[in-house]
Copies of this chain bind each other. A is one copy, B any other.
C-alpha cells in the first residue's frame, strides 16, 4: 500500500485507528477455546466487526510466537484473511526487529514477502545498515521505534547525546534526525507513545510529514485529543493504536459486538478531531 492510499482510507473512513490484535488465550472468551484455531477465530470476529471503523490492524508477533508453530499459523491465517477480505486495510507486523544487514534482509523477506504485511516495526539501536534493508522494499513501510510509551523509554531514549556536534539533544531526536539521512527514508514511519504527548511538538519539528504510530492511548493513560493537538499534520499523519481497550471489551459471546462499540467510540472521537483540525486549516 502507498502512503497516499493510506491517507485516502483515513479520509474515507474518518478514522486513523489501528486495532492491535494481541491475542492472549487467557483473555479471550472461553467458548472459542473449543474451536480448532481459537486465535484466528477471535481475530476474524474482531476484524469482521470493526473493519469499517479502522484503517489498520496490528498483530504483535510476540503473542503468536508464544504459541509456537500453531501461533505462527494463526498469524498467517489472520494476515491472509485481512489481505483477501479487506485489501484496503494497512497491515502492521509489530515485530520490533533489527539485525546486521543480511539478517535484516531476511526479516524484511519474512514480513514483506512471506507474510505480505504492508509494514513492520523495527528497533533503531543497531543503526543504518540494520534498517536500510527494510527500506529497500517498494510500497512497504518501516516503522521505527523513536519514543516508546513505556516507563523504560526514560532509561536511554531521553538521554542527551552530542551526536550532532552542534547542540546537545535527546537520543530519540537524534534517532529521528539520523534516520532521515538513510537511503529510501521516505519509507519510514515512527513509533511515538501517546503517554508522552508533550513531546509531539518537538518531534513534528524534525519529522513534519511522517506518519507516527501511537500506542498508549487508553489502558496506558495517553490522551487522544492531546496527541492530535500536537501531532496531527495536514494528512492526519497519525495511526492511533488501541489493543486491549477494544479487543477485550467483553469476554462473553458478545465480544465482537462490544469491540465494535469501543472502536466506534474511538472512530467518532477521531472524526470530531479531524473536523476540528481541518476546519481550522
Contacts and interface: CB of A to CB of B under 8 A. Distances in A.
Contact of A156 (B22, B68, B97, B174): B174
Contact of A66 (B94, B98, B114, B153): B114
A28 to B, nearest CB: 14
A175 B69 CA distance: 33
A226 B96 CA distance: 33
A159 B171 contact: yes
Nearest to A243: B103
B163 A159 contact: yes
A157 interface: yes
A69 to B, nearest CB: 5
Interface stretch (A125-133, A200-208, A228-236, A270-278): A125-133
Interface in A76-123: 76, 94, 96-101, 103-104, 106-107, 109-111, 114-115, 123
A62 interface: yes
A151 interface: yes
A137 interface: no
A136 interface: no
A8 to B, nearest CB: 31
A110 B115 CA distance: 19
A150 interface: yes
A60 interface: yes
Given A99-B96, A125-B123, A128-B151, A66 B159 contact: no
26 contacts: A22-B103, A60-B106, A62-B97, A62-B104, A65-B114, A68-B110, A69-B69, A69-B73, A96-B126, A100-B149, A101-B150, A124-B125, A125-B148, A126-B157, A127-B151, A127-B153, A128-B155, A129-B151, A156-B161, A156-B171, A156-B174, A159-B161, A159-B163, A160-B162, A161-B161, A171-B171
